[in-house]
Amino acid sequence: MADTAARSAVDLLTEARDLTDRILDQWAQRLRGEVAGRDGDALAYALATPGKRVRAALLLASYRAVGGESPAVAGVAAAVETVHTYSLVHDDLPAMDNDSLRRGRPTLHVVYGDGIAILAGDGLLTDAFALLAREPRPEPSAETDATLDARKLRVVRVVAHAAGSPGMVGGQAVDLQAAEARSTLDAEALDDMHRRKTGALIRASAVAGAVMGGAGEDAIAAIDEYARHLGLAFQIVDDMLDVSGASSELGKTAGKDAAAGKPTYPALHGLERSRRRADRCLTDAVAALEGAGLSGGRLAELADWVVNRTS
């Protein structure tokens, strides 16, 4: 049963990657013609950099869990992945995490320079919201254009909140300040930082899928609670892999967090307690789904994959 669930999660990730990458590849080709010089090449490089597409998979899973059926929702998933890609471009800059490897390729600033990397990140974030506003386009159905527009507007608000100062930006600021001061965050502060820096966009992805699927408020709240626990679990496992994984498997520089003195779960709790915390997050995430009658779909399988992944 566990193997079947794992294969199901991998199948979903593969589907999400194929759907999302098709959109992003077309976009990258268009940018090469529309944006002059190195900025266009840099944007295309960022969009073409391979990723696991966990956020896209999460959006698809929550969309389908509440009855969504249109393949056009892949446009929303691509937009969310573009927001994630922008954050990685900026996080890798020398003034931030100063990393030279991302998703198995040289980071954008290594290839194109700091200035172009900053501009490319700015472009990706802005263009992601243009894509959110545009996709999915109305289809002939019982749904009115006004209903679709209302859902899209809500998704824009959800993703903007996650990407902005209350979410990713605020979390990164806390991380930077702690690393610069070589200070150790306590357990509560560490959770708060990662609920923003990593967890916010994971939550937004799940909620966006539920909203686009026309879910009721109770189902949206349950999926949000599920994703709140999942986002934390994702970061705990990431921190553990930074200690125990290899750069070739992770697609980024292993051991970088410890070398930089960054606040992490293994540094605060040790690997064994961190593993227990991730497992508890998984239990809490699945419980949130069960309480709303949503545990039969792929959301629970995806959560299990997140906690037990090796890269």
Task: Give per-residue pLDDT as tens, 129-155.
Answer: 999 998 887 766 555 678 899 999 999
| pLDDT for residue 293 | 94
Residue 170 burial (10 A CB sphere; 0-12, 13-18, 19+): middle
Residue with tokens 């959109």: 23
What is the average pLDDT score of the chain?
A: 90
* Under 8 Å between Cβ of 79 and 28: no
CB atoms within 10 A of CB 138: 12
Instruction: For residue 101, give the DSSP letter.
Output: E
Q: Which two tokens stand for residue 251?
A: 């697609």
Higher pLDDT, 136 or 86: 86
Inform me whether the pLDDT recorded for 48 exceeds 60. Answer: yes
Q: What confidence tier does 180 reach under pLDDT thresholds 50, 70, 90?
A: confident
Q: In whole angstroms, give the CA distance from residue 240 to residue 251.
A: 15
CB atoms within 10 A of CB 152: 19
Inform me whether the pLDDT recorded for 246 exceeds 60. Answer: no
What DSSP element (H or E) covers 59?
helix 54-65
| pLDDT for residue 282 | 96
* Under 8 Å between Cβ of 20 and 73: no
Q: In whole angstroms, give the CA distance from residue 162 to residue 199.
A: 9
Task: Give per-residue pLDDT as tens, 256-279.
Answer: 666 666 788 998 999 999 999 999
Task: Give per-residue pLDDT as tens, 181-192.
Answer: 777 789 999 999
Most distant pair of Cα atoms in the chain: their distance: 57
| pLDDT for residue 243 | 85
The model carries a pTM of: 0.92
Inform me whether the pLDDT recorded for 1 exceeds 50. Answer: no
Task: Give per-residue pLDDT as tens, 274-311.
Answer: 999 999 999 999 999 999 999 878 999 999 999 999 88
Nearest to 268 by CA among 229, 308, 239, 238: 239
Inform me whether the pLDDT recorded for 4 exceeds 80. Answer: no
Taking each helix axis from N to C end, the angle separating 37-48 and 2-34, rounded to the nearest 10 degrees, works out to 170
What percentage of the chain exceeds 70 in pLDDT?
A: 91
Q: Sketch out the chain's domains with CATH numbers.
A: 2-308 (1.10.600.10)
CB atoms within 10 A of CB 222: 25
Question: CA 151, 155, 156: angle at the middle one, nearest 5?
Answer: 120
Task: Give per-residue pLDDT as tens, 93-108.
Answer: 999 989 999 888 999 9
